[in-house]
Structure 1
Amino acid sequence: MHTLYENNRRWHMSRHHEHIESMISYKESLGYARHTYSGYLYDLAAYLMKTEASEDMLSIAAIQPWCEQRNTEKTVSYRRRATAAREYTKYLYAMGLCDGILSMDAVPSVRRYTPYIFSDTELESLFRASDHQKGDPRNPLSPDIIAVIYRLIYFCGLRPNEGRELQRKDFNSEAGVLLIRKNKTHKERLIPIAGDVAELCKNYLLKRDLLFPNSEFFFPSSNGKPYPAKWLTRHFLALWRDVYTEENEKRVRVYDLRHRFATAVLMEWLDRGEDLYTALPYLSAYMGHSDYRDTVYYIHLLPERLLKTASIDWGRFPKLLPEVTAHE
């Protein structure tokens, strides 16, 4: 019987581990986070060592038992684990080290959240309401934060955490540019912002810099650190309830501001007769997507009348919808 040390030593010396490390490095170079795959694939490597699967040529048959759903595993977790295994087999197959690519046919699909696309009237009402909030009694700046942060997330198409964790030094008032550092893909990007949004930020900073001169964050809480995600969500839902108490039962999220931004850009391009296939990469880069399919997804959120326009050539977007539910 092998000791724990011997088992660990054998695992670390395996070619399975080398291939997994190589694949993860490749994915990181594309902007994916290491933890997207590492936990699942380390577990897979241990299974392959335990079952003495070939280290020279992996077979789908050898990996299949590991890909069966576990008794305590939820569908979402199961699909993520199976997706990691599929990506690994795709990587090995491309190098001639696997006899096929793992199929996802037997893996239950996960219902994707359908974003709520705010109307212009709803956005105007939300932003007007945000100008009259009491905020956090411990932080005299919080009413101003509420008035600015949701506008910034929408008009710049930011992920909510990118707005919350924005640093003071990352706003270039002269150039009218935001530097987005910390995000899902771990890639920095520069975002040019409209003149009126830049002016909004400048006016906000006059008060912010007086109250929190030593905080490194653009939207500091009472302790100078960013507010947590729950705070951002709580105040956003409060705004929504203030504006639409009983008239609208739709579920909304802060993330829907980003979704509305993307569809607004696409609709503007269609109105101008732009070729979406050519223009879409610019939106993808602006929004910080690591996977082009995440940007293509927004086309399917457009009003039905626009989906039939000649500006959208569906034949040029083959199989580009993401398979896995995620906050892109």
Structure 2
Amino acid sequence: MTTIVTAAELRRDAQAFLRFKRAMGIVYRRAEFDLDGFVDFVAQHWGDYGEVALEDAISRWCARIPGRKAVTLGNEFGVIRQLCLYRRRRDPSSYVPEHALAPVKESVFLPYIFSHDEVRRLLAAATSHRGRFIGAPMLRALFLVLYCTGLRLGEAVRLRMADVDLDRGSLLIRHSKGRSRIVPIRADLVAELSRYTAERQRLVYAHRQANPEMFFLRLDGSALTVQSASNAIRRLLRELGMKPPSGRIGARPYEFRHAFAVHRLTAWASAGVDVHARLPWLSAYLGHQNVLGTEVYLKATPELLELASGRFEQHLRRSRRPR
């Protein structure tokens, strides 16, 4: 049976669907953007009250931009399919598209993983940085927080003084991806952040300001922004040859998070630790919603794959030994 809808009806259903999801604690911001785009597409082509077969509307919406990446289309399609499943609760005969319409759900993108030598070069460059707005002590501390904790850039930049507990050795990450978490840090990072805090206090006094709320400050005493931090990191990546002189390809500021995860997994594997048993620990530390978001790092580098392969081969040899 063909399901006939209007844009006005879909808009009401989309809002009810969002309320339903958010009542369960799911933020669904990106999904709201995708839903609004789909409803606007229907309204643009058939008007607010013009009738259209839901199957046709979804098919044409999926094909609206030729040559799109399959993973992008798959993620957007997944939201629309969830809306259709929600509508089926009210009407069991309502149309729900098959997964085959946009089957790819997993990105084939592999991140740039900094080597240990590259991390040291980046840290040296940050330590000697002479910027107009960003000072070396702050940039060095930011790099260390990103690499030693795997925080997202936005999480690090948004740290407040009250979130950095150097006595207990922990960072409080507030409301990231819909929830908060406490991230323990090592004693050597505590020592580095203590040195930065002293420099930060001198900066505050030099500008005769009341103690600002934010932890990372620029040279004028203002709070660091994600954009200015990202720009500074990208400039260093280009200067060190880890990113081309122009364009979006190459290493990104986000790679510190990838490097932290892969280096931690590699260290565990080298020590003979059961990596899969530790994945939930790493997942919680990184703030992933589930362990599936952490498993992608297991195939991130040939070194890690070789270690995993070697351990599996040893396991097979032990299992074949006569008893």
Same fold (TM over 0.5): yes
Say yes or no: does 1:203 pair with 2:195.
yes
Output the TM-score relative to the length of structure 2. 0.74
Q: CA deviation at 1:61?
A: 3.8
Q: Judge conservation of contact 2:14–2:35 (CA < 8 Å) in 1.
A: no
Say yes or no: does 1:274 pair with 2:263.
no
| Secondary structure at 2:251 match in 1 | coil
Q: CA deviation at 1:157?
A: 0.7
Cα displacement string for residues 24-75 of structure 1 (whole angstroms, at most 9, x for unaligned residues): 443xx25xx332211333455675984668xxxxx97476446432158954
Higher mean displacement: 198-207 or 240-249: 240-249
Q: Judge conservation of contact 1:89–1:98 (CA < 8 Å) in 2.
A: no
CA distance in 2, matches of 1:302, 1:223: 41
Q: CA deviation at 1:259?
A: 0.2
CA distance in 1, matches of 2:295, 2:123: 28
Structure 2 CA distance for partners of 1:174 and 1:104, relative to 1, 3 Å: same
Q: 1:148 aligns with which of 141, 145, 152?
A: 141
Q: CA deviation at 1:16?
A: 5.8
5+ residue gaps, structure 1: 1-6, 54-58, 313-328
Q: CA deviation at 1:151?
A: 1.2
Q: CA deviation at 1:274?
A: 3.0
Structure 2 CA distance for partners of 1:251 and 1:19, relative to 1, 3 Å: closer
Say yes or no: does 1:40 pair with 2:15.
no
5+ residue gaps, structure 2: 1-6, 205-209, 314-323
Q: Judge conservation of contact 1:11–1:45 (CA < 8 Å) in 2.
A: yes
CA distance in 2, matches of 1:25, 1:98: 26
CA distance in 2, matches of 1:274, 1:214: 45
Q: Judge conservation of contact 2:152–2:254 (CA < 8 Å) in 1.
A: yes
Q: 1:229 aligns with which of 207, 226, 229?
A: 226
Higher mean displacement: 278-287 or 207-216: 207-216
Structure 2 CA distance for partners of 1:241 and 1:15, relative to 1, 3 Å: closer
Report % sequence identity. Answer: 22
Q: CA deviation at 1:77?
A: 5.9
- For residues 58-207 of structure 1, the aligned pairs below 5 Å read 61=55, 64-65=58-59, 67-71=61-65, 75=69, 78-89=73-84, 97=92, 102-107=97-102, 112-136=108-132, 138=133, 142-183=135-176, 185-207=177-199
| Secondary structure at 2:125 match in 1 | helix
CA distance in 1, matches of 2:55, 2:35: 17
Structure 2 CA distance for partners of 1:92 and 1:284, relative to 1, 3 Å: farther
Q: CA deviation at 1:93?
A: 6.5
Partner of 2:212: 215
Structure 2 CA distance for partners of 1:232 and 1:18, relative to 1, 3 Å: closer
Structure 2 CA distance for partners of 1:66 and 1:24, relative to 1, 3 Å: farther
Partner of 2:207: none
Q: CA deviation at 1:298?
A: 0.8
Q: Judge conservation of contact 1:79–1:107 (CA < 8 Å) in 2.
A: yes
Q: How many residues align?
A: 291
Counterpart amino acid of residue 181 in structure 2: R
Q: CA deviation at 1:310?
A: 4.0
Cα displacement string for residues 305-328 of structure 1 (whole angstroms, at most 9, x for unaligned residues): 12424469xxxxxxxxxxxxxxxx
Q: CA deviation at 1:296?
A: 1.0
Higher mean displacement: 228-237 or 200-209: 228-237
Q: Judge conservation of contact 1:269–1:276 (CA < 8 Å) in 2.
A: yes
Structure 2 CA distance for partners of 1:62 and 1:257, relative to 1, 3 Å: same
Q: Judge conservation of contact 1:236–1:254 (CA < 8 Å) in 2.
A: yes
- For residues 46-61 of structure 1, the aligned pairs below 5 Å read 47=42, 50=49, 61=55
Cα displacement string for residues 76-110 of structure 1 (whole angstroms, at most 9, x for unaligned residues): 76444312113334556789957675334343858
